[in-house]
Structure formats: C-alpha cells, structure tokens
Structure 1
Amino acid sequence: MGIVVAYLIVTLGVGLVAYRLTDRTAEDYYLASRTLGTVVLLFTTFATLLSAFTFFAGPNIAYANGPEWILVMGLMDGLIFGVLWYVVGYKQWLVGKKHGYVTLGEMLGDRFGSPRLRALVAGISLFWLFPYVMLQQVGAGGALSALTNGAVPYWAGAGLITVFMIGYVVLSGMRGVAWTDTLQGLFMLTMVWAAFVWVLGSVGGIGAATDALASSNPEFLSLGGGVYSAPWMLSQAIGIAFGVAMFPQVNQRFFVANSEKVLKRTMALWPLVVLLLFVPAFMLGAWAAGLGVPMPESGNILPGVLAEYTPTWFAALVVAGAMAAMMSSSDSMLLSGSSYFTRDLYRPFINDAASARREDLIARVGVAVFATLAFLASLYNPPSLFVIGDTAFGGFAQLAPPVIVALYWQRTTLSGMVAGLLGSQLFYMVTTFTPAAGETTTVLGVVVPGVMESFAGWSSSIAGMVVGLVLVVGVSAVTAPAPAERPAVLGGSSETDD
C-alpha cells in the first residue's frame, strides 16, 4: 500500500509543478496551448486509453475465452484507430488550429450555426463519459482491496484515487495531465513486461505456460472458437475503435499537437505502442487459465496471477502500474468532461460573457463535481468492468458516422446531423438496454418483453452506426441547409512547415 501511496504523491507533485506553468486561460488549461510534441502526445493518448478496461477486463476476457482478444484490441483496434487518427484527427487538427476550437461540439456548433447542436454533442458525450469515469474508480477500488487482502475496503480505494485525481487535475490542466500521462505510460509498459517475464520465469517459460493452456483449454489455441466468431470480433474491434475516436479525452487530443508532423508521427507509432502493452497483459490472463490460477474475489485475474507467482512488493508495483492506467484515463476524462460542460453548455447557455478567469474557475470546480458524482455512483454495485466499458464504447461510436460525414461532405445539413445523432443514439440505447425478442426483464416491478431481433451476430453498436450513417446522409440529401450554416468552416488548410 505504501508503494501505491508514494506513486500517488509523486503524481500530485507533477501536477503542482505544471500548475506553476499553466496560464489561467481555458485554451492553456484544456489544450496546453496546442504545444505538445511527438513523445508527449503519443504517451498521453496511449495512457489515456489504457484504463481499467485494459488492465483488468482485457486479461479477464482472455482468461475466460482465450487470447484472441489480442486480435480485437491489439491488431484490429491499433490499426483501425490509427486510420481514424488520420481521417478524423488530422482534419480536426487543421480546423481546430485555424479557428481555435477546444471541443468537438464547439467545432460542429460553429459549422452548423447551432448552439443546440453543440449542446447535443456535449450532452451525449457527458452521458457516456460518466460510466467510463466510474469504471476507473470501480477498478481502483477492487485493485486496492485485492492487494491489501481487504484491509483497504473497496470504497476507500475508490475514494483515495478520486481525491488524488481531483487534486492534480484541478491544479494542472492538460499540461500536467500530459506530463503525468507520459510518466504513467512508460511506467505501465515497464511493469507489465516485468510481470510478463517474472511469471514466465516462475512457470518455466512460454513453452511450459502454453503447454499447460493446451492441456486445460485446447480450444483457446484455435482461431474462431467460442465467442470469437468473425461478426463478434469485428463488432468489438470496429465499435471500440470508432468509440475511441469520439471519446472526449481522445478527441480533444486531436487539437493539441504543435505541428502537422507531430500528429502524423504519433499516428504512425500508435499501433506498435498498443501491441507492446496488450500482448503481455492479455497473455498473462490466458495463461492463468491453463495454470489453474483461481479467479480472486475481486473478479480480476491479473492480481491473482501476481499473487500466485510474484512477491507482494512486486505485485504492488504492478498494481501501481494498473492504477497509473486508471488515473491516466480518469484525469483526461475529467478534464475533457469539464471542457464540454464549460465551453458547450455553461458559456453559450448560462454566461456567454464569462471572462477567461471565470471559465477557468468553473472548469476546475466542474472536475471536482464530476469526479465526486462518479465516485458515489461507483459505490452502488456496478456491473462488470467489461459491461461498463463495452457499453460506453458503443455509445460513443454512434457519434462517429455523423461527425465523419460532416467533416468530409459539405452537403451535410443541420437536420441531417440531428437526425443521425439522435436516431443512432436512440436505436443503440433501445437495443442495448432492452432484452432480445423472446426474453423479458423486470423494471421497477414491471415485466418488459423483448422486442429487438439480433443482428446476425453483429452488435447493436454496429447496427446503430449504420442507422446513424443512413439518417445523416438521407436526411441531409432531402433537406436544405439552415441559414446560419457555414460549410467553409470545415475546409481547413494544410501545414507544410514543422
């Protein structure tokens, strides 16, 4: 526990240093004045994405179903998101630099001349961001409880992480978050590979671990077995990759590069860095099944593997790495969520004349409020980490088709955008939160019958994205642009110098 606390204190110290260098302006607080270089941008994006979903849910999936999850999260999402980084991120960077945009909603609201569209994008984003922030607190509480054998209860672990996150995010803004993310990303990679080598050394190497898996779960070593059907794997990969591109904390990083070359270098390095983390983490989960490691009461196999094959002090270091993953995701989520609230809701609808200093203050208060509410929600028996993360990924993915169409098709209209956004969200929520045809669920004592058919093995996230694409294109094709629309806003301009 002392190792974890020491790590948290170091992180807070970095936040204090960044606070002394941060201007009291919204652009500097949210985007570090668009000055990030290749290494910091790569690792702040990397660390931002590597959350409790990666460190705990990923190995759990490999433990239960086999290591093909690496293909979904590693190869597929590494490559698909790398492409989206260019398709969405590069275009946003060009437009954001030209017009000074801080959020996705701000950019779209200006393009379509609609504060209500701006608020709609922010509202959808905050709705799905909330459970994903909660996921990090659930993971942190469970990890600390497992590490201390229950001496630190779940609520105390989740609360401790929440307090530290509030502290350094409120103080430091994007600059401090990016610096700590870089340290956390490097620390994560180091510790997961150290755990990988240590566990393999304890069990006799890769061959012995794989032989044990082949004896106990031979189906894990064949492609396409169990849940890993082609539609399921593609649904997960596509849904997660498109969802990641629309995550506020990731999407906002499309605005912060200090040059075009920085953005493109980071995009090219992304798939490699992703595989460097996913392969050892997920293989440890899969090998644990063959080695007969029982699932701990926490419901996360990675701490169980470490407890079985490594000393307590080393397990604490790896858990600190997992905590780094959770904190580096949550800090960025809190910062981006705050920017969506202040820029897209507070300023246009409550106080349009707010000074930069007042907006800066509201942003810092918003971080604390959002984190506290997510912590309180995390105390009420939340579902599994995979369910929380997968649902949020799918919700964000519904934003992608309308946004991409708007970026590249000047004929897109405000009516088409609203139809695409609302239609896909409604479809996704109905198909996600109601049972399938032939099944029932009980809501507040009322039996609700299922009405939705399956989608031939494809997820409702993919089906919803198709609905959104059809609606934004179809409605735009038959409606006229609103008078306040400005198609030229998303034209952008290329930068050739470094």
Structure 2
Amino acid sequence: MSVALQVGIIVGYLILALLVGVYAYRLTDRTAEDFYLASRTLGTVVLLFTTFATLLSAFTFFAGPNIAYANGPEWILVMGLMDGIVFAILWYVIGYKQWLLGRQYGYVTVGEMLGDRFGSRYLRGLVAGVSLLWLFPYVMLQQVGAGTALEALTEGAIPYSVGAGLITLFMIVYVVLAGMRGIAWTDTLQGAFMLVMTWVALLWVLVAIGGPSAATATLADSAETAGFLSLGGDFYTPQWMLSTAITIGFGVALFPQVNQRFFAAGSRKVLKRSLALWPILCVLLFVPAFMLGSWAAGLELSVPAGDNVLPVILAEYTPTWLAALVIAGAMAAMMSSSDSMLLSGSSYFTRDLYRPFIDGSISDHREDLIARVGVVLFATAAFVASLYNPATLFEIGDAAFSGFAQLALPLMVALYWRGTTRAGITAGIAASQTFYLASLFTAIFPATYAGWTPGVVGMAIGLALTVGVSLVTTPATDERRARYFEGVGGD
C-alpha cells in the first residue's frame, strides 16, 4: 500500500505539471523565439523561480546531501553562500549585458551572439558543440537521480531503469508541448513547492530526533563525525572549496538552460530584481537539504553504497506520504532542470549548428519542428547512457560545471573589451576546453595543482590566451568590434 501511495503522489504530480504544459501549448506561437524564450516576456517572480528551479537539480537534492553526509556541512558554504553570491554577481555582469544585446539584435544563444560579433560561424559552432558536449552528462544526471530516487523510495518496486525511463518520457512529452512559456510557469510552481517541502521535511525530522541540539550532539558523539563540527579537514581544503565554488558559479552562468533566461527577461528591472533575490533563495534551500545530509551521518542510518542519503533519512523519520511529497519535490527539481536543458540544447543545435552549416534559409516554423524532434533524440540518447550509471552524481555534475566554466571568462572579455579578436577568443575557448578534457579523461596532467582543480587552471588558461592572443593579432575584416558597445542601452 505504501508503495502505491508513493507512486500515486509522484505520478499525480507529473500529471498536474503536464496539464500546465498542455495549457501553455495552446498559448504558444509556433515561432522559434516564443518556443525558446517565451517572446522575452518573463516577469520578476517567474524569471526568479524558473532560474531557481532550473538550476536546482539532482546535483542539489541528492549529490549535495551525499557530500554533507560523507564530509560535513561545509558544503553549504560552497553552494549556499559562495555560489549564491558568485552567480548573483555574474547574473549582473554577464546577464544584464546579454539581455541588452538580445533585445537589440534578437539573439537566442551565446553562440549566436559571439558568432555575430566576430563574424564566424565556426566560433558559433564551437560554442554550441562545447555546450552540447557538457549538457549531455548533466541531462543524464537527472535521469540517474530519478532512477535511484524512485528505486530507493519504493524499496526496489520501481527499478532504476523504469524510474529513469519515466522521467525521460515525461521530459520529452512536456518540452515538446510546453516550450519556454510552459516550462517557466511550472518551474515557478515547482520551485515554491520544493522549497516548502524541504523545510517541512527538515522540521519533521528534527522533531522526531529531539531538535537541532540533539541532532548535532549525535555528530559529536561519534569519532567518525566529530570533525563535522569544525571548519576545514582533508576534504574541505581552502583550495578545493574555492575551486569548486568558482567553477560551479561560473559554470552555472554558462549553462544553456540558465544562460538563456538572461535573454528572456521582460525588462531591466525584472532582471535586476531577480538577481538581488537569488542569494536568499539559495540559502533557504541549501541549508535544510545539506543539514539533513550532515545530521544523517550521526544517526546510524544504513545507507547502501551508491545510494542517496535523503530518501533513506526520510523513510526512517517521516511518514510515507511526506517522504513521497519530498521526493516529488526533488523530482520536480530534476524535471525543471531537464526540460529546460532539452529546450536549450535544441536551440543550440538548430540555431548554431543546423542554421549555419546545413540550411541558413530555414523558416521559423520549420526550425520550431526540428527543435522538437531534437528534444526527442537528445533525451533518448541521454537515457540510454544513464542506464550504464557510469559515475556518481557529484562526479557527473562537477565535470559539467567545470566544462561550462571554461566558456565564462572568454565571454566576459569579449563583452567588455573591444580589443578582443576572433583569434583570441577562439584560442581561449579551444585551449581551455582541450586542457580540461585531457585532465578529465587522460593522465597527461596532474589531478590537482597545489590543491587547485583543473577546472580553475583551465579557466586561467582560457583567460590568458583570450587576452594574449588578442593583443598580438589583428581583427578580421568581418569582425564587428563596436557591436557590443554602440547603440546598446537600458530601458
């Protein structure tokens, strides 16, 4: 009976979200801009919560508590404080300039924006190719998270493959129907829902175990977790914490599903209000989620190797219906990330690869159709890869964050320095990506550099080459050096 109730709650939630998508489909114009960006009309609340729900994924709900469970609550500093602040700053530094340029010139993707400025379809294709490369494992991460969560919650009644398949099928149907407008609406509902349910779960668990003091005391009583109550340690070194905060913060700003929301804001005021509220939302979600993981380490719970701690602590200390609602909230987070990723991935493919290299005269209606077909193919391929479950959620997510982070500094240089050349930004992006990929998949480079991760080192290489090569090269004749500076203003 409990399994039927859990599945019923989760499926009911999926159906509710799908109904919103169907309604949005009826209101969506059959144009690429409306499908991708909701015609650039998002307001403050919707923009804030769609960004919030889109970003907070299986990495947040499962990998984050797992890290806190294994190593202590300082993970809150990395994600909750450092990245809440780092990303809010980048939201203004990158996002506001992108919004101005998108409004002026109709850009939909970063590749389109850079390709136009530097007069290069190959640069446009490079940015799109790199973005799709790193987007793929992050879509897969959501499927892995959904599969493992449903398997743990139902004690194996729903196998991993069925859970991953369920989320994949839902993603495909939802994105094909809803587009950005429907996704933004359901993101707002899902963001508020997962925030409330996470706090309800935290309070329920604390009441069950005697309050925060009792929960913290259990950490001090165990030799294995006593170090959780002090800063630092073998895992949370200053270099590792800063490296992770930097790569996640900068990587988030270039995640396609997050970055495209910079283009979708309805006005400058909408964009600025949203970024100001962002750090508050981050802390409100990360603190309860990660503290549940930390306190679980002192409660002598049995968490099988490879499983996630959050479903285990919920199953132990909360009623079945509440555990199912919280997992539904986590599923909402995964869906919010996945559907937006698929939408953005299809835009990168159609706008930056199909248009420049296959059919430059494609109509808006045909592009809209190709985008929807692309969603099906991309999601299906990621699902097949997820069945092999090749790495932990943290490893998958960290690789994607750091990969996207390599794009951030070359983009910032181009947005604010007229002297950037096509050769400079191409060298910066290509070299940093090559270095990071080699660090990830080969033994050519060391695993760390005096404690700093390859992701941060790659960012430094990208910045140095973008600036250095630009200084010693001449701009190509078809570059538009004034594109980002003249005729671009606020409301």
TM-score (norm 1): 0.96
1:459 corresponds to 2:453: yes
Pair 453,72 (structure 1): closer, same or farther in 2 beyond 3 Å: closer
- Structure 1 gaps, min length 5: 436-449
Deviations 1:256-293, CA, capped at 9 Å, x for gaps: 11100000000000000000000000000000001111
Shift in Å, 1:226: 2.6
Query: How far, CA to CA, are the matches of 2:33 and 2:446 in structure 1?
Result: 44
Query: How far, CA to CA, are the matches of 2:263 and 2:180 in structure 1?
Result: 12
1:486 corresponds to 2:445: no
Q: What is aligned with 2:4?
A: none
Query: How far, CA to CA, are the matches of 1:103 and 1:451 in structure 2?
Result: 32
Shift in Å, 1:298: 5.3
Given candidates 374, 378, 381, the residue that maps to 2:386 is 378
Q: What is aligned with 2:433?
A: 425
Q: What is aligned with 1:93?
A: 99
Query: How far, CA to CA, are the matches of 1:195 and 1:266 in structure 2?
Result: 27
Shift in Å, 1:381: 2.9
Residue identity matched to 1:199? V
1:343 corresponds to 2:337: no
Q: What is aligned with 1:180?
A: 186
Shift in Å, 1:451: 4.8
Query: How far, CA to CA, are the matches of 2:136 and 2:204 in structure 1?
Result: 36
- Structure 2 gaps, min length 5: 1-6
Residue identity matched to 2:385? A
Residue identity matched to 1:191? M
Query: How far, CA to CA, are the matches of 2:390 and 2:16 in structure 1?
Result: 30
Shift in Å, 1:296: 3.7
Pair 325,453 (structure 1): closer, same or farther in 2 beyond 3 Å: closer
- What SS does the corresponding residue of 1:398 show, helix, strand or coil? helix
Query: How far, CA to CA, are the matches of 1:494 and 1:215 in structure 2?
Result: 59
Q: What is aligned with 1:495?
A: 490
Q: What is aligned with 2:233?
A: 225
CA contact (8 A) 2:438 2:445 kept: no
TM-score (norm 2): 0.97
- What SS does the corresponding residue of 1:193 show, helix, strand or coil? helix
Give 4+ residue runs of structure 1 displaced > 6 Å after superposition: none
Given candidates 156, 160, 165, the residue that maps to 2:162 is 156
Q: What is aligned with 1:213?
A: 219
Query: How far, CA to CA, are the matches of 2:45 and 2:177 in structure 1?
Result: 23
> Any residues of structure 2 matched to 1:93-492 within 5 Å, and which?
93-216=99-222, 217-296=225-304, 299-435=307-443, 451-452=445-446, 454-491=448-485
Residue identity matched to 1:179? W
Deviations 1:416-441, CA, capped at 9 Å, x for gaps: 01100010001111112223xxxxxx
Residue identity matched to 1:83? I
CA contact (8 A) 2:152 2:307 kept: no
- What SS does the corresponding residue of 1:411 show, helix, strand or coil? coil
Query: How far, CA to CA, are the matches of 2:332 and 2:306 in structure 1?
Result: 19
Shift in Å, 1:453: 6.5
Deviations 1:57-116, CA, capped at 9 Å, x for gaps: 000000000000000000000000000001000000011100000000000000000011
Query: How far, CA to CA, are the matches of 1:136 and 1:271 in structure 2?
Result: 23
Pair 321,315 (structure 1): closer, same or farther in 2 beyond 3 Å: same
CA contact (8 A) 2:141 2:397 kept: yes
Residue identity matched to 1:167? V
Deviations 1:131-161, CA, capped at 9 Å, x for gaps: 0000000000111111111111111110011
Shift in Å, 1:297: 5.5
Tell me how large the CA RMSD over aligned residues is: 1.0
Residue identity matched to 2:450? A
Query: How far, CA to CA, are the matches of 1:428 and 1:336 in structure 2?
Result: 23
Query: How far, CA to CA, are the matches of 1:453 and 1:428 in structure 2?
Result: 11
Query: How far, CA to CA, are the matches of 2:479 and 2:462 in structure 1?
Result: 21
Query: How far, CA to CA, are the matches of 2:433 and 2:116 in structure 1?
Result: 22
Shift in Å, 1:452: 3.0
